[in-house]
Amino acid sequence: MSSPNAESTAFRSALEVIRAVEPRIADAIGAELADQRESLKLIASENYASPATLLAMGNWFSDKYAEGTIGRRFYAGCQNVDIVEALAAEHAKELFGAAHAYVQPHSGIDANLVAFWAILADRVESPALRRAQVRQVNDLTEQDWFALRRELGDQRMLGMSLDSGGHLTHGFRPNISGKMFDQRSYGTDPATGLIDYDRVAEAAREFRPLILVAGYSAYPRKVNFRIMREIADSVGATFMVDMAHFAGLVAGKVFTGDFDPVPHAHIVTTTTHKSLRGPRGGMVLCGPELADQVDRGCPMVLGGPLPHVMAAKAVALAEARRPDFADYARRIVDNAQALAEGLLGRGAKLVTGGTDNHLVLIDVSGYGLTGRQAEQALLDSGIVTNRNAVPQDPNGAWYTSGIRVGTPALTTRGLGTAEMDATAELIHTVLSQTTPGSNADGTPSKAKYVLDPALADKVARQATDLL
């Protein structure tokens, strides 16, 4: 393992090289480092990658084209890329107990697109496909595809609703998935905020989806993937899990048995950052029955692979296989629960009343605020969060009524449960001292707010002192 001095020297040297070409970029990098060092980073989808992971991205692999897959490239001279991709896939399979791993996706959205098309390519067989005289779905022209879509009676997706914690890529209209599929959502119990599996089963029986999607971006509880697979099987659906947010908890064996998606899903997608603490990127895990279709991700929906990012994925996945990562994953959940308890003890309202995972969803309407007002007031105070819709949110997806906070990044920084309680106190102080502002015409504003700058500065100093 390298020494801290070696790591610092490497990054200082890199900044000096950048500064010689474009000093403003070097300044922006330095400012970002300072911001992340001095503020409480509570965005649930963010983390801190290790120096080894970051350094693995800045190398000559960035210069190499490598379309195709291992041993079947469309460019010559990819022998070193093959080694990198094979190592990343090997680490992923061993870490998650998966039969097959595809590590090329550039993001979680790309990973989901690969999964969707792989499922379609595996399941679709129709007169339109035969008339097009093609063998693979990815060979269809746009005209062929729309003809095929008209003939498919089951091109439907059932996923969690956005205001219940689902993700945009699970069939919602602004995303390409919403244009590929006829989508319907399952929500959560209005009284508890929890998934009602009986209602999911009822929706599946009525809708008969081609794909049943589980996974979330703002649901603070575990999901029982065994039950979800049973529901998918009961209607002949392919069961897909997007574990982008909680992959680190699966890797660290915090989520096991019914709560580990890999043994239960037909196909699993994830990002490699967030709780997994790797570079920004995506990944697909599946069984042998879908492996060939998944490996056609490039050029099916992906551009050329990013070998330098695959190298960083391999490093991060190797780190996640170490025993200390399991301890890290447990501490993420311990910290999230301590943060939730600290907020509840100070009168905050939490969706589902707590958490089982890495995130907490605060309903800030109890403070008389919108999510947008709360998000900015906290940012002014050195606490970085993001606004998020809550179930049946009256303020919609832009202003929202919630704030989502997560503990992966602060856990990486070494903070523990005592610091989480102190963080809860800072959050409560800011939100309880923030009031809604008014528009120029005197009407209430959903964006403007009033917060004493002196209080914000004081909290920001206290936040820095925790780090």
Please tell me which residue in 238, 269, 270, 271 is annotated as part of the active site. 271
Q: How many residues can be counted in the chain?
A: 467
Contact between 391 and 218 under an 8 Å Cβ cutoff? The reply is no
Residue 149 has pLDDT above 60, yes or no: no
pTM above 0.75, yes or no: yes
For residue 467, the number of C-alpha atoms closer than 13 Å in the C-beta half-sphere is: 20
CA-based diameter of the chain, in Å? 70
Q: Rounded CA gap, 407 and 196, in Å?
A: 26
pLDDT at 176: 78
Q: Which of 277, 249, 247, 270 is nearest to 49 (CA)?
A: 277
280 is catalytic: yes
According to DSSP, the residues that pair with 160 across neighbouring strands are: 186
Residue 172 has pLDDT above 90, yes or no: no
Mean local confidence (pLDDT), 272-299 = 95
Residue 125 has pLDDT above 50, yes or no: no
Residue 429: other Cβ atoms inside 10 A: 16
67 is catalytic: yes
Contact between 220 and 354 under an 8 Å Cβ cutoff? The reply is yes
Q: Label residue 136 by pLDDT band (50, 70, 90).
A: low
Q: Which are the contacts of 236, defined by CB distance < 8 A and separation ≥ 6?
A: 208
pLDDT at 169: 80
DSSP symbol at 169? T
Q: How does pLDDT run across 299-353, given as a tens digit for each residue? A: 888 988 999 999 999 999 999 999 999 999 999 999 999 999 999 999 999 999 9
For residue 369, the number of C-alpha atoms closer than 13 Å in the C-beta half-sphere is: 30
Please tell me which residue in 123, 149, 221, 274 is annotated as part of the active site. 274
Q: Rounded CA gap, 232 and 158, in Å?
A: 10
Q: Label residue 154 by pLDDT band (50, 70, 90).
A: low
Q: Which of 279, 282, 275 is nearest to 56 (CA)?
A: 279
Residue 96 has pLDDT above 50, yes or no: yes
What is the Cα 326 distance to its own chain's centre? 19
154 is catalytic: no
Q: Which domains does the chain have, with CATH numbers?
A: 61-320 (3.40.640.10), 323-466 (3.90.1150.10)
393 is catalytic: no
pLDDT at 153: 45
Alpha helices in 303-416 (DSSP H): 307-320, 323-345, 371-380, 396-399, 408-412
Please tell me which residue in 85, 122, 163, 242 is annotated as part of the active site. 242
271 is catalytic: yes
pLDDT at 142: 56
Please tell me which residue in 38, 67, 90, 334 is annotated as part of the active site. 67
242 is catalytic: yes
Please tell me which residue in 280, 346, 448, 458 is annotated as part of the active site. 280
Highest mean pLDDT out of 86-90, 233-237, 440-444: 86-90
